[in-house]
Amino acid sequence: MNDEIRLEKYANIAQTLIQEKGPFKLFALLELSNMACEWDVVLSASWLPGNDKMESLRFIVDKIRAVLTHQEYLKIARVILLDVNEPFVKELQNFLQEHNNPKTFSSVEIEGVEIEKGRILISPVSEETSSELLTKTSKWVRQAAKQGDREAQNTLGLMYSKGEGVKQNLRLAKKWFKKAATLGHVQAQSNLEALPH
């Protein structure tokens, strides 16, 4: 898969999760040396892994499956949920700080894990606030929404309803929730009903 397209899709997933659960400390795609062409999705946030790790994992996998094609989904080796205080998260943070916070890197070992390629969507050393990240990724979400992606349409509706990453506009929130609901997005229908009339 084209890296730019993959990163746009994962930015959309990150955006959806931030809207629904809260900010991440880390959101990365890692291709391990012993697993060529397969990617680990590594996530760390204060709300992870949560009281029920399996429920958190199911929730995240459902969001990933809603955005990726079947072929793209098959490229995922594992989805890894890490506490923000895990040694791997801290070592990765140290590595990123030492190397000026790169968005991509290759051929490194962190906490005994040999990483062939790494793509950082949300860095533990990022200077971006959640608000700045929302603004930055809103263009990808908008693009996917316009192309008929119901998950992106719901996310864009959430962004407009809350004024996160875009100027608050309940008329546009309603428009995007309706589009997603029409395509069978159950949460979008609930979000639509929850809007003030």
pLDDT score, position 102: 83
Q: Quick one: tokens of 169?
A: 């506009």
Q: Quick one: tokens of 66?
A: 């809603």
The CATH fold assigned to 3-122 is GMP Synthetase; Chain A, domain 3 (3.30.300)
Q: For 83, how many CA atoms within 13 A lie in the half-sphere containing its CB?
A: 6
pLDDT score, position 129: 52
pLDDT score, position 20: 84
Neighbours of 186 (CB within 10 A): 10
Q: How far apart are CA 18 and CA 155, in angstroms?
A: 10
pLDDT score, position 101: 81
| pLDDT tens series, the chain, 197 aa | 455 557 788 888 888 888 888 888 888 889 987 777 789 999 998 888 777 788 889 999 998 888 888 888 888 999 999 988 889 998 998 888 888 888 888 999 998 889 999 888 877 765 555 556 666 667 778 888 898 988 889 888 988 888 877 888 999 999 999 999 999 999 999 999 999 87
pLDDT score, position 1: 45
Please name every residue paired with 40 in a beta bridge, in sequence order, or none if there are none: 30, 78
Which residue ranges make up each domain of the chain? Answer: 3-122, 130-194
- In CATH terms, the superfamily for domain 130-194 is Tetratricopeptide repeat domain (1.25.40.10)
